[in-house]
Every structure is written in C-alpha cells, then in structure tokens.
Amino acid sequence: MNEQEIINAAFEDLMNSLRKETTEENRQLIREAFQLANEAHKGVKRKSGVPYILHPIAVAKIASVEIGLGTKSVMAALLHDVVEDANYTIEDISMLFGPKIASLVDGLTKISGVMGMNTTKQAENFRKIILTIADDVRVILLKIADRLHNMRTLDSLPEHKRVKIAGETLFIYAPLAHRIGLYAIKSELEDLSLKHENPDEYALLQGRVQRYRYDNMDFVQRFISPIRERLIENGYKFEIVTRTKSVYSVWSRMQRENITFDEILDILSVRVIFDPKDDQPEKWQCWHIYSLVTDLYSPRQESIRDWISVPKSNGYEALHVTVMRPGGGWIEIQVRTTRMDDIDEKGLAAQWKYRKEDADPISELDKWLINIKEMLERTDSGALELLDDFKLNLFAKEIQVFTPKGDKKTLPKGATVLDFAYEIHTELGNACIGAKVNHVLEPVSHVLHDGDQVEVLTSDTQVPHGDWINFIVTAKAKHHIMATFRKERKEQIRKGMVIFENLLSKTDNTPTQELLNRVLLHLKLGEKDDLYLGLFKQQISTEEVRKALKRKSKNKLMHYWKLQFFKSDKERTSSNGQTANTGNNKETEQNDDIPNVIIAPDCNPIPGDDVVALKIDEGKIIVHKRKCPEAIRLMASHGDRIVPVKWVSYKVVSFLAAIRLSGIDTIGIVSEITRVISKENNVNMRSVHFDTKDGIFDGIIYLYIQNTADLTSLMTRIASLNGVEKVIRVENIEAGEFSSRK
C-alpha cells in the first residue's frame, strides 16, 4: 500500500471503533476533521519515518476506545496538532467546527507548549496544564491519550530524549491517569517509562512475570473452577479473568520494600465481573458473591477492602479479599459489576456515562479538581514546590474521616488532626490546638486513620507554629502555614546570608557560586536557603562551614573512572553549524578527569550502575542513579538539563557499598559469610554488624568493591549459603551509618 492507502486504512479503523450510538451526522463531522488534518499534515513525517497524520488518528482511537470519549473529543484529537504545525488558527477551527471543538484544541495546544516533546521549563509552566482541567477535563484526557501514543512510539527518539520523556511521564502523567481513574493506561505508562529508563531491569522482570503467569495457569484454572460452579448455581451472568501485576508495580514494590520477586505473593489475582440482577441492589450482590467465594476458601480478614460502600475518590468501586488457595499461599479475588469494571478501565468518561440523575452533583473527583485549581491559582509558590504539592495530591493513598455531624472528608494517608482542620477551613487550622478523635483527646500532630471521627478544638490565642510544617502532609495545610511564615522566613534567610558572608570575610574567602556549591555539597544541602536558615537558627555551626570551605573542590573520585557524555542534537548543530554525521548519529565526549562532575551523595552511584546526568548551576553536572527518586523528580521538572552518560572504563580502585542480609541464626553462619567474602579477590570488608533475636539474624556489612558486577557475584554466593534467606544492596548509604559501625 502507498502512504495515502495506509492513512485511509487507519482512519477507517478509527471510524469502525466509534461508539455504536454515534450518529451519521457526527460521523460526517469526524470525516471533515480528518480531511482538514490530513491536508494540514500532508508530507510531514514523524521521527520514525511514518506519515505524521497517523499520530492524531491513533490518539483519536485511544480517546474513543480506551477512554470512551465521544465525537467532540475524537474531532479534537484529530485536530490537536493542526494549529501548531500548519497555517490554521483557533479562530479558523471555531469557524469550521464550532467553539467547543476550538476550545478543546486550544487547551491541547497550550498544554503541548508546556509539556510537549521539546519543552524546557516544565515546572515553571505547569500551572497552565492543570488549570485547564477545571475548565474542561476532556483536555487532560486527550493529553493523556496523546502521551500514551507518544510513549508507545518512543523507540525512534535518541536515548536522552527517551529518558527525559519517560521521567516526565512517570512523575506526572501516570499519577494523573491514576487520579482520574484510568488504571489500565496508568499501568501501561508506568511500564513504558520503566522500559526506557531501566531497559535491562524491565526486560528481566517482564520475562519473570510472563513465566510466573504461564507456570501458574493450571493451578489458577483449578482454583477458579469451584467459584464458577457456585456462580452458575446462583444464576449469575459473569466472566472470570486473571490479571498479573504490571512490571512496574512489581519493580517498584521490590525497590520500596527491599524484597525479591519471589517474596511478592499477589502477582496473580482473579477478577469476577458480573451483570447485576435487576431485582437486587449491586452492593448486596457483590457481598453475596464474596460469601460464595469465602464458603470455598478461607479469607485473610485484614485483607478485605470494601470500595463499594465508600468508593475511592477517583470513582473506583470493587470488593477485594485475599483467600488461602489449595496447597497453601494467598490469592486476591476482586468482585465487581460490569459498570464498576468499565469505570476502572475508562475512568472519568465512564463515570459521566453512569452518573445517576439523583447523584451528588459534586463528586469526590470534582472536589479534588476544585482543590487543585485553588492550589495552582496561588502565585506565591515556587515552581518545584508547586510540582511537588501537585504530585502529593495525585498519588497519595486516601483515608475517609468524619466530622462530628457525620460529614465525610477525604484526606491522604498519614494526614494529621491539623490537616483535617485546614481541610475544613483556614481559620480553623490556624486556631487548632488539638482534637477529640473518637472522643479521645489528641494533639495537632496525631495521625488520623480510616473511619476516625474528629472534633477540632481551637483557641483564640493560638497562632501557627513553625514546627507544624514538619508533620502536615496536605498541600492545602502546607500552603496556609507557609504563607504565614514566608515573610518571617525571608528575614531569617537574609540574616543567615549575612552570617555566611561575615564568615567568608573572616576566612579570607571571596564569595563565589563554586564556593557556595562546595559548602552545600559537603553539608548535603539542596538549596542555599537551607544553609542560611541553618546558620540563623544555629542548626549548622560556623565550624562545620569552615571545614567545608577548607575542602578541595575537585572531585577526586573522578580520577578513578571514565564517563562518556553524549551531546544533544541541538548541541551538535550549534557546535559547528551543522549536524554531526557519526556512525550511530551520536557525537561523544570522553574525559578521564572532569572536575565539574559531582556524584550525587543521596544515591551514591558506582561504576556499573545505570546513571543519568543533569546540568546544575555554574555548568556543573551531577550524576544520579536512574532510579533515584530525586533524579526522577528533576528529570520531570527540568528535562532540558538531562545529559546522557554511561560508564566507559574505570581503574582498579574500591568504592564503598553496603549489603543487608537476614536468615536463620545457625552456629557458625557469620563465620561462613565472612569466609565467602574473604575469598573474593576484589572485595574487602570495612565493617560487619549482626543482631540476633529469637533465632533470626539481621546484619549489615560495609564493603569496598570495584563495580556492581563484583557486588552482584558476591551477593549471589552469600545467598546460596544454608540459613541465609535474603541478601539485598543498601542503595542509599548515609555517612552517619559508617561511623556508627566502624
């Protein structure tokens, strides 16, 4: 087929996927939108070489099939790049297709200018994106569809662009999809991000998850068979499907809990999806099916999750329970109606579809959108602070708490009495002195739990305290407290800066950015304001600063290895006026001694780790592990600063690493472990610390190693010893830990 035949076939596939109720009049409008977009993008190709128009067609199909949007959204998806890439204006779109389509296209165009493929200041402009949600949430649904297709076709871009887009997707778009209720899309975005940020780990885990599913399918079918018989006996129309955790979900849990793949017990789950009977309430039928399942298999009581009585704020409804399977081991059962399953897959669009006339016009999701708009309309928050606050509001697990009159409030897990007070009203938060939680007096810092009933206590003499910021978790409370102290904080920072400058003059140092960076790095501080505040409050002593000033700024570690940096397309072009034509389309720089490179102290990467570099002040570059949370945050907010980098070679020198291990405390186990270590040629022990309790040992060993390959080999040998149950690498080593265990 020629190009136009491929385009026509893709468009006909889109038309065949539209909702059945789409009228012929609406189908004609979609055809007209396609004709305009096809003409506007004629001759334009994507990086992969395919016609550009295939992208908006694919986005429109995702919007229709995977999100469940209607005619206007499909038309906007087809037209979403026309204004940016062709000689059309929003006014032209309005004249041809009406103001609503023009409004959607305009919203998508504004977002693309902020979070598009070539964005350079995501955090600074992020406010524009989410403000669009409150105007018409379909804009962000379409942008998620656009991002999903870009992620599916990311392979054609160079590595540094893939890493930037993947980091941005993982930090913002996946949580946003989750919050709006698009669970399937959220999972795919996370998996695709992991695939491009950590390709080796993704490939390994993907294979293990697939093998686990294949190896357990016979068992699952035997497990399902009695459930199927009971449901048929009780007259239910249903389907039973099995699902495995996403690769990213497995990976993130392994990272978060420091556990192995084999220690994750709920990789497989079973979902019962049924058509409810007309003569009985949905909720009653879900609990009836639950009782049928638990008649067959014993439930784990603490695992019951009732999101039918109290749905999640993103609209999710289901009944979860974990039961003991034959032969031992747990498996999760999810019970839901076809309506609930549709909402889980298509999120907000499905909620609109099923919303009842007598339903509360303001849902929990509507309230969240209102709160987000209020947060983003504040002009006194810094860009990164704003991004962090929004992220907190996106992905936090939730609890439901109640006022004395029984009104329900949704708060993030970990919220305190003070968060609750500010959630009700600013003045109530400012005057809060404590609360009666379930009729028991508790302080403002008391952490609330699901189902608590809270009566806030106030005093006319109470004012906000600076230490409140240390235990509140909601962005709303944080904003109001910070607003109170922002003026005071500025004055403290000014006085702290004077202290620092006086110290410099006494030590005959000239104030420079390099000198300031050296002090911040030595004290492990992120911002200069942290230094000034610490000096003013005497949390940082002048003696500590003097020591930092005496340290040499040169990064001695960089003598011991070689890093290879990759120039971006823009840099290659600007360096000689034309794009360099190398064998792999990459121009590289190599240097054995790069004094401007800093190894991030929070994640401490060593040769062999997957790393990413980011430009910081004064032309310096900081190297993080790719999976470091701070690196992901920075890549999402400052994607233009990413510098692709990899280890090329290193000299024989040792780096400090730590492993944690546990197992059964048998006689001689510690001697056996240390004997294995002593036999390794390239590994030396710095310190060993073991604790035992009730026949179980837990230990941490600090080692000097040359690279990750040596460390992995050693961990494998230790794990093979009888009695050793777990061996893991301690990823983030605090300097204080070393001194305490010498």
The secondary structure element, H or E, covering residue 689 is: strand 684-693
Angle of helix 247-257 relative to helix 199-233, nearest 10 degrees, comes to 110
Nearest to 455 by CA among 402, 503, 409: 402
Distance CA(109)–CA(81), nearest Å, equals 7
Secondary structure letter of residue 611 according to DSSP: E
Handedness of CA 229, 234, 237, 239 (dihedral sign): negative
What does the alpha-carbon distance between residue 71 and residue 52 come to, in Å, rounded to a whole number?
22
CA distance 107 to 461: 47
CA distance 466 to 485: 7
For residue 458, report the phi and psi dihedrals to the nearest 5 degrees.
Answer: -130, 165
- The Cα-based distances of 677 to 193, 284, 673, 674, 697 in angstroms read 36, 60, 6, 5, 18
Q: Which two tokens stand for residue 540?
A: 């940082």
181, exposed or middle or buried, with CB in 10 Å at 0-12, 13-18, 19+? buried
Q: What are the structure tokens assigned to 219, written together?
A: 């068992």
Q: What is the 3-state secondary structure (H, E, C) of 109-134?
A: HHHHHHHCCCCCCHHHHHHHHHHHHH
Indicate the DSSP class of residue 171: I
Nearest to 274 by CA among 306, 243, 235: 235
Beginning with the edge strand found earlier in the chain, give each strand of the sheet holding 724-729 in spatial order. 684-693, 696-705, 655-664, 724-729
Residues 6+ apart with CB under 8 A from 65: 17
Tell me, rounded to whole angstroms, the distance of Cα 82 from its chain centroid: 31
Largest CA distance in the chain: 88
Number of residues that this document lists for the chain? 742
Of 85, 229, 501, 617, the catalytic one is 85
Burial class (CB in 10 A: 0-12, 13-18, 19+), 54: buried
Q: Would you say 324 and 300 are in contact if contact means Cβ atoms under 8 Å apart? A: yes
Q: Which two tokens stand for residue 645?
A: 């980098």
**CB 248, CB 195: distance < 8 Å:** no
Q: Is 84 a catalytic residue?
A: yes
Asked if 496 and 534 count as a contact pair (C-beta separation under 8 A), the reply is: yes
Question: What is the C-alpha end-to-end distance of the chain, expressed in Å?
Answer: 71
Selected catalytic residue, list 84, 91, 263, 725: 84
Distance of alpha carbon 583 from alpha carbon 58, whole angstroms: 32
702's tokens: 């600090």
Are 456 and 488 in contact, with CB atoms under 8 Å apart?
no
Residue 447 tokens, joined: 């952490």
Q: Output Rg (C-alpha) for the chain, integer angstroms.
A: 29
- Which residues are tagged catalytic? 84-85
